[in-house]
Structure 1
Amino acid sequence: MPVLLWIAAALVAAGVDDLHTAARSGDLKQVQALVGDGVSVNARDSLGGTPLHDAAWSGQRDVAEYLIAHGAEVDARHPDGGATPLHYAVITNRPDVVELLLAHHASVTAIYRTGETPLHLAASRGHVRIAELLIAHGADVNARDSTGATPLEAAAWKGEESMLRLLISKRADPNCANPNSGITPLHAAASRGYVGTAKILLDAGASFSVRDKNGATPLDAALQSRQMEVVNLLIQQRMPARIEKFDLGTALRDAVLRGQTNVVAMLIDHMGPLGSTTLLHDAALKGHVDIILLLLKHQADVNSRNAQGATPLHDAALAGQRAAAEALLENGADPNARDSESGATPLHRAASWGRRDVVELLLAHRADPYIKDNAGHTPLDLAEANSQSDAVEVLKRRP
């Protein structure tokens, strides 16, 4: 008897495997024969899927229709991620199977893996026809997955322009911020450099000024990712009524600090003469010579003062940025300017930190090594106090 039971079990298992194979390949006659022989239409394979999962994945509409007519569970869940046959048909872009499943009341709210609805899956893949079917059957265009993303955000991350137009036409909110990250679809498009996507969102009323959880606007996102076409689009299309919090100055400073010369050039073109600004200080501290020259070309004051009364040359000297210091000196920087905090000159700063190359450069440009700061110290005094032997050697060579 046990042998007979084993044989029977083996035959059943073989029948199940055959049914799944037939469903995947679209062999309707074989499916009909196996079901007629008593193989369950909901029998699970070794991975946990049903024959309807297989038919949906491979787009076998006739097989799927037969299975459903004979009792297949339309919303059967796969143990790997909880996928239903509808999820599979959406992922593999099978609109005819999707239409069939929806006609048999497949759930449009079923969750897959990271909380994605079928519409999320369609949106991120650009399956427009399927999205239309899902929406027509009640799919929520503003539903959120477990990361907080809406279908519109999912489409924006992938630059799916046709999908964006569809979702927006169905009242998806272009300013719907992700509650976890604070990003909007425009942030996503900007960071990926999708110009067409960004334009669609802007035309739909997406905000320039909204900030994510890190305080970044869509422009910041584009700048950080060096997406110049999107940066240009955001600047060109901005309108005063829509940008109360749009801080072009902050964006410019961030670009200076990052050394993004082309971004700086673009932003300056929209701002006019710079005059007194601390942007030169930032560029000098970082050693961005190209940006220093660009700022000076746009009338930035080479001897501008920051809150401590220091000039850009002070910062270049402090950081040991010889090339930056040279660019400033050649454009009129005062080598003997004293800051208001300690009375230090750029030479004091360079000597204190042992910036030998800068010390030599400043001396070559007639920096006075005998000027004393507010505490009565010369640059040599500070170099000796801080054990900066290289700077001491250079300064002691002076007459």
Structure 2
Amino acid sequence: MNILKFFTAGSVDDGKSTLIGRLLYDTNSILADQMEALQNANRKNDDGTIDLAILTDGLRAEREQGITIDVAYKYFQTEKRKFIIADTPGHIQYTRNMVTGASTADLAIILIDARNGVVEQTIRHTYLVSLLGIKEVVVAINKMDMVSYSETVFNAIVTKYKALAAQLNLKQITYLPVSALKGDNIVHQSGQMAWYDGKSLIELLEQVNTEEPQQGPARMPVQWVIRPQTDQLHDYRGYAGRILSGSFKVNDKITVLPSGARSSISKIEFFDNELQEAQAGQSVTIHLKDNVDLSRGDTIVNSSAVPHESKLIEADLCWMDTRPLDTELTYLIQHNSTLTRCKVSELIYKVDINTLEKHSAAAFALNDIGRVVLKTAATLAFDLYSESRHNGSAILIDSRTNLTVGALMFRAAVE
């Protein structure tokens, strides 16, 4: 049974927390003590029913204000699949929280209030989904009960959103009319919208494809060199890590980056078993036929498809710190298992994520997103983010505080 990681995004009061609560409630995924707490809670809906948003509004400030501030993770499963949900905040003030919650997601649910249609925050959330390379999108047009379950209203919103999606090159989109409050088309098909003959939300989530990119170029950052040096394992030397994409087979010719050393695979271990082939998503130990200089931070790749190698990288940057970006400061960049120093050598532009306009940038402040050029101390072996989310992303760390201050998506190697 595989796992689907997805997140919800929408404007304040569009019903994100209620939708997740409804998913958990209608799939019988709420524990007995949680149900008792819900029934005893002071917050009720206008009709006296349980306010399901309480399930994800964990912070006191969230319960008091009725908004989502931090990312809340929830876990549940059906007979067909396991799920990890990230309930992310919609307000612009918490853009960094949304980027964090969405960064590992396979699918995005963008909520739209049927009464308001596509609004400024819808544009911002859709841009972030596009920026983060999330291919599967469900546009859940919520609160259909408050517009009399109107097909006309639904179709008008779909038409407007399609124009936005085309602008951002989003293609795999499913449009779904729902009422999270009433439970229409969340787990059970609605009896109020005979004009809609598509799947419910849970059916869509159970069927979406989440397979790792098996066909991509083979990449494995080395996490650990295993060298027991015992009498029984005197000559044992294995390189452990998680395969990010593609697959490795015994006898494959490989290259170690950034050194460029070449060898071939003699053995692949997976727990106590030996494999002839290991695929993306598996954590394995690879043995090479030659003793090469290889350590944590190096990347094993298939010799027939090597990634980019550069010390100058053009990247999209989401700034996450309350202190603005300092181009004079040396930061740390963490790319998979590689950690090295870097500077932001150029600010190319900043994006107004409410209008999608690009402006010249003199500085980056909290929640700003734009394009920069990085200069790293060591050569990085990377793919473009559009080709590999795993090997095309990194984080910036303030070496003074050890705080993560930026999320990076690599767009080009600068010559």
| TM norm structure 2 | 0.21
Q: Give the greater-gyration-radius structure (CA).
A: 1
Give the TM-score normalised by the residue count of structure 1: 0.21
Relative to total residues, which structure has the larger helix share, 1 or 2?
Answer: 1
